């Protein structure tokens, strides 16, 4: 059934496949870019991934020597404001983000500050409230397959003073290009492959079920789930396989497009809070919380979860499961699917992720103030969030 009203936008040019990186300089050249700032983290700078990107620009009249390689695991307002100063001082004119969610979100924040002509990202907080300004070229090269941030209108940026992760939502956050090149993800360790892949699964499931869902976003979510359940276990076991890596990159991007247009719900609201209060990596928080939040939402989302059994478990299981049992079966499948990654070190309980019970109150208080909670089909109270945390402990 169609929603009464919906909006959908994905303006990102997706460049997917072998040697996708080599097509990026041409695209940036066509947008008039001469001196991008390349944002990445210290590990990618050290392990040679940054070199691969810089080599791809050889022979082009584009200077990619201006780099910022100290982006922390959680992008923060301080880092963004610092890079904005460097961007202006060095005369940069475009942005290349090479990395996972924190690098990409930092780049999104930087783009806002530069395009809006200010100095402080905090001046631009809000939802869909930024005036359109002259755009600077912005390319993203994801090195994980999870956040989908290369195709989303959301940035999550930490405010270390308040111990919270802040959400910025605007179509201006969408990059111009997303480069899905399997060489960029092939060295990802199994544990990170698993937790980022589960993050993509959460994006797809919440994108399929949250209040802002629409037929287009659901199509992307449905297809992403099928890819993830088929290829994530294979990518974890055989990381060097380009087919598996590319499938997971596409899945994460599709899940990103889905949730960018339908938003994420309670798993993310609590997950952001756990990240802010207990500093648990995002993908790990997602993996721990997903089954418990699905149980919480079950009564309201029974028909939707029942539909999801098809991409989750495949046609045979879907067809042989009685209609009224499909939703419950979907939750059981998700629980078992995540549990298989315990073998590569993925925690499935909050206690294993070093969250303590005395942090529950702060986590719950932060979660109920997270933007994601609004589009969850049930607006959870603080007490209900604490109950979910207890179950996940």
Partner 1 sequence: MTEVSENPTQIKQEAKAPKTIVPGGFKRSVCKLVMKLLGKGICYGYKVDSRIKQDVDAIGDDFSVKLTISPIGPTMIFGKKDQKPFSRIGSYDEEATMTISFKGLNSAFKMFTGGMGLAAGYAQHRFTVKGDLYKILAIVRIINIVEGYLFPKAMAKKLMNPIPPKQVNSVRFLCGTLF
What residues line the site for partner 1 (CB under 8 A)? 3-7, 125-129, 162, 164, 166-169, 210-212, 263, 300, 368-371, 373-375, 377-379
Computed over its alpha carbons, how large is the radius of gyration of the chain? 20
Using the minimum distance from each CB to partner 1, give the nearer residue, 44 or 77. Answer: 77
The Cα–Cα gap between 252 and 197 comes to 7
Strand 67-68 relative to strand 36-39, pairing: parallel
Using the minimum distance from each CB to partner 1, give the nearer residue, 314 or 377. Answer: 377
Using the minimum distance from each CB to partner 1, give the nearer residue, 348 or 359. Answer: 359
The DSSP output letter for 352 is: G
Distance in Å, CB of 22 to partner 1, minimum:
38
CB 146 within 8 A of CB 283: yes
CB 258 within 8 A of CB 208: yes
Distance in Å, CB of 198 to partner 1, minimum:
25
Using the minimum distance from each CB to partner 1, give the nearer residue, 139 or 278. Answer: 278
Tokens of 54: 């810089």
Q: Treating both helix axes as pointing N-terminal to C-terminal, what angle do 101-116 and 77-89 enclose, rounded to 10 degrees?
A: 60
* Residue whose tokens read 């939502």: 169
Distance in Å, CB of 392 to partner 1, minimum:
22
Among 168, 164, 53, 82, smallest CA distance to 122 is for 168
Using the minimum distance from each CB to partner 1, give the nearer residue, 129 or 320. Answer: 129
Using the minimum distance from each CB to partner 1, give the nearer residue, 12 or 166. Answer: 166
At 28, phi and psi to the nearest 5? -65, -40
Angle value at C-alpha 250, between 248 and 251, nearest 5 degrees:
60
Tokens of 42: 């210290």
Distance in Å, CB of 115 to partner 1, minimum:
16
Distance in Å, CB of 90 to partner 1, minimum:
31
The total of other beta-carbon atoms located within 10 Å of residue 61's CB is 9
The Cα–Cα gap between 334 and 190 comes to 19
């Amino acid at each position: 059934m169609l929603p009464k009203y919906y909006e959908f936008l994905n303006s990102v040019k997706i460049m997917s496949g072998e040697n996708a990186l080599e097509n990026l300089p041409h695209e940036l050249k066509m947008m008039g870019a001469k001196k991008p700032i390349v944002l990445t983290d210290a590990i990618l700078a050290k392990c040679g991934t940054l070199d691969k990107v810089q080599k791809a620009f050889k022979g082009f009249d584009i200077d990619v020597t201006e780099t910022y390689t100290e982006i922390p695991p959680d992008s923060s307002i301080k880092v963004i404001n610092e890079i904005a100063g460097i961007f202006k001082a060095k005369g940069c004119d475009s942005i290349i983000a090479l990395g996972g969610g924190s690098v990409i979100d930092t780049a999104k924040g930087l783009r806002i500050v530069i395009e809006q002509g200010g100095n402080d990202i905090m001046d631009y907080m809000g939802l869909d409230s930024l005036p359109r300004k002259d755009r600077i070229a912005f390319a993203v090269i994801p090195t994980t397959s999870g956040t989908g941030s290369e195709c989303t209108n959301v940035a999550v940026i930490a405010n270390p003073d308040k111990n919270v992760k802040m959400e910025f939502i605007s179509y201006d956050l969408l990059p111009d290009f997303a480069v899905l090149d399997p060489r960029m993800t092939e060295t990802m360790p199994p544990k990170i492959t698993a937790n980022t892949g589960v993050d993509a699964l959460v994006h797809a499931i919440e994108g399929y079920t949250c209040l802002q869902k629409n037929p287009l976003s659901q199509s992307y979510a449905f297809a992403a789930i099928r890819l993830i359940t088929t290829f994530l276990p294979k990518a974890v076991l055989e990381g060097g396989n380009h087919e598996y890596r590319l499938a997971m990159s596409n899945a994460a991007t599709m899940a990103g497009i889905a949730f960018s247009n339908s938003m994420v719900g309670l798993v993310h609201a609590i997950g952001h809070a756990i990240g802010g209060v207990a500093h648990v990596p995002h993908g790990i928080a997602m993996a721990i919380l997903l089954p418990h939040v699905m149980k919480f939402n079950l009564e309201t989302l029974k028909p939707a979860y029942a539909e999801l059994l098809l991409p989750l478990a495949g046609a045979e299981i879907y067809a042989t499961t009685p209609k009224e049992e499909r939703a419950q079966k979907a939750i059981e499948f998700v629980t078992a699917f995540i549990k298989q990654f315990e073998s590569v070190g993925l925690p499935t309980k909050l206690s294993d992720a070093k969250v303590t019970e005395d942090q529950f109150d702060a986590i719950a208080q932060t979660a109920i103030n997270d933007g994601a909670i609004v589009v969850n089909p049930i607006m959870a109270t603080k007490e209900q969030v604490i109950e979910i945390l207890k179950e996940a402990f």
